[in-house]
């Protein structure tokens, strides 16, 4: 007699928990996993442009004047079954208009479970606006996970790790404060909080002055703490090399984007060839195609695509796999709120180490430490760092409970 298994029968039998048995390999076309969601439809796509006046203006080397406000865009996708998904991106390069005028109408009535078909369709009519695709892809994955009762990382094959090492993206330039004074103090506070890796901004002042600031931070935190520096496109080839030499002497882990990003990260392969420490870059990468061109040129030792800026979790995963083929590490850029942090955590959970050795190059989460209400105020439980790491969510979807009333308080535009 031939035995036919349903998903519920398989789980009840205990076979699903046996080592080496994967329930998905037993599913039939008519299994309830698919039939339960055949009628799931997208009914609305909403965008929220948020703004917050900063208590203290801050910025990077090229922020002139220093930023006085912080902005973000959140996207909410609603369905006929009450499931909702959230995404996040920056409200620039026409992302909001692309979503409301072009992409949202194409999503209405679609089943969000048809992930690959939907995401492919999002790229066609938007003329390469990866920010809009990134926010929508996050939200669709949030719904898919909730519909199937799975964390987003499990939608992409399951996690390599339960927690992710974190580096604090900190030490920005502040109004009326000298970096000589507050950089070492800020670094010391973060280390006392359990952070084991820190990144600072450089490039606003001459190399001679800022190399001393970097040395002061290193002396303050000691050699056991990982340090990195972001040049934010403020250097020429010569000054980038000069600062790079000093950072190498101070045992910095990488030197991020010291040259201008446009056009197409010009000169980065030359800089990489001459630097004595790893060169990181790629936060402005918008597609896998452009990432491949940069990897083929040998532009970076570490590539840094951003889930919210280059098309979503699936796109960054593809880029990370391309990078691994070239022996290049992937440490995603993440400078946003709780929704983006959640999406990046799920991505990092599924990224393998870039080699077959021990976990010495595990990809890290960039944890913005500047004033950021989207990181703390719009979710019921903000993410926290414990012993230098952040736990990957285990509840269905992205794993964040969004407070829509809080989003409404910060919203300056809703559509």
Q: Do domains 42-150 and 155-398 have the same CATH topology?
A: no
pLDDT of 23 strictly over 60: no
Name the nearest CA neighbour of 217 among 231, 203, 202, 232. 202
Q: How far is CA 333 from the centre of its chain?
A: 5
CATH code linked to domain 155-398: 3.20.20.120
Tell me the per-residue pLDDT of 34-91, one tens digit each, with 9 for 90 and over: 336 889 999 999 999 999 999 999 999 999 999 999 999 999 999 999 999 999 999 9
Domain boundaries, the chain: 42-150, 155-398
* DSSP assignment letter at 177: -
Tell me the per-residue pLDDT of 181-237, one tens digit each, with 9 for 90 and over: 999 999 999 999 999 999 999 999 999 999 999 999 999 999 999 999 999 999 999
- Measured distance CA(129)–CA(75) in Å, rounded: 15
Handedness of CA 88, 93, 97, 99 (dihedral sign): negative
Decide which of 359 and 309 is more confident. 309
Cβ(390)–Cβ(400) under 8 Å? no
Mean pLDDT of the chain: 90
Rounded (5°) CA angle 403-98-370: 45
Q: Give the burial class of 148: count Cβ atoms within 10 A of its Cβ; 0-12 exposed, 13-18 middle, 19 or more buried.
A: middle
Cβ(123)–Cβ(311) under 8 Å? yes
Q: Decide yes or no: CATH 3.90.45.10 for domain 42-150.
A: no
- Measured distance CA(245)–CA(395) in Å, rounded: 45
In the structure encoding, which two tokens stand for residue 206, read together? Answer: 């001459």
């Amino acid at each position: 007699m031939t035995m036919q298994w349903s998903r519920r029968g398989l789980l009840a039998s205990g076979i699903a928990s046996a080592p080496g048995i994967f329930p998905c390999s037993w599913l039939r076309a008519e299994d309830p996993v698919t039939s339960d969601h055949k009628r799931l439809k997208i009914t609305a796509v909403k965008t929220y442009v948020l703004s917050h006046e900063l208590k203290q203006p801050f910025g990077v080397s090229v922020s002139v004047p220093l930023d006085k406000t912080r902005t973000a865009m959140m996207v909410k996708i609603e369905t006929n079954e009450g499931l909702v998904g959230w995404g996040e991106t920056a409200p620039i390069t026409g992302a909001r208009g692309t979503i409301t005028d072009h992409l949202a109408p194409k999503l209405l009535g679609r089943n969000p479970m048809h992930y690959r078909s939907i995401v492919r369709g999002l790229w066609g009519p938007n003329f390469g606006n990866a920010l809009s695709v990134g926010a929508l892809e996050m939200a669709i994955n949030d719904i898919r996970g909730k519909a199937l009762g799975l964390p987003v990382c499990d939608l992409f094959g399951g996690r390599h790790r339960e927690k992710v090492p974190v580096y604090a993206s900190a030490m920005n330039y502040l109004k009326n404060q000298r970096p000589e004074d507050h950089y070492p103090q800020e670094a010391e506070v973060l280390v006392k909080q359990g952070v084991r890796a820190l990144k600072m901004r450089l490039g606003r002042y001459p190399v001679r002055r800022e190399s001393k600031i970097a040395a002061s931070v290193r002396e303050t935190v000691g050699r056991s703490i990982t340090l990195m520096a972001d040049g934010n496109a403020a250097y020429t080839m010569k000054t980038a090399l000069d600062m790079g030499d000093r950072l190498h002497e101070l045992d910095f882990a990488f030197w991020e984007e010291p040259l201008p990003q446009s056009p197409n990260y010009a000169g980065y392969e030359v800089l990489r060839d001459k630097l004595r420490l790893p060169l990181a870059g790629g936060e402005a990468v918008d597609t896998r195609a452009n990432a491949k061109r940069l990897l083929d040129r040998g532009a970076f030792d570490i590539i840094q695509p951003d889930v919210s800026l280059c098309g979503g979790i699936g796109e960054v995963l593809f880029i990370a796999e391309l990078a691994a083929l070239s022996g290049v590490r992937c440490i995603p850029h993440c400078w946003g709120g709780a929704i983006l942090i959640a999406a990046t955590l799920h991505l990092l959970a599924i990224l393998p180490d870039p080699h077959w050795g021990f976990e010495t190059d595990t990809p890290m989460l960039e944890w913005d430490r500047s004033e950021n209400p989207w990181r703390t105020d719009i979710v019921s439980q903000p993410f926290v760092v414990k012993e230098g790491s952040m736990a990957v969510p285990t509840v269905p979807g992205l794993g964040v409970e969004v407070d829509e009333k809080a989003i409404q308080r910060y919203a300056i535009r809703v559509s």
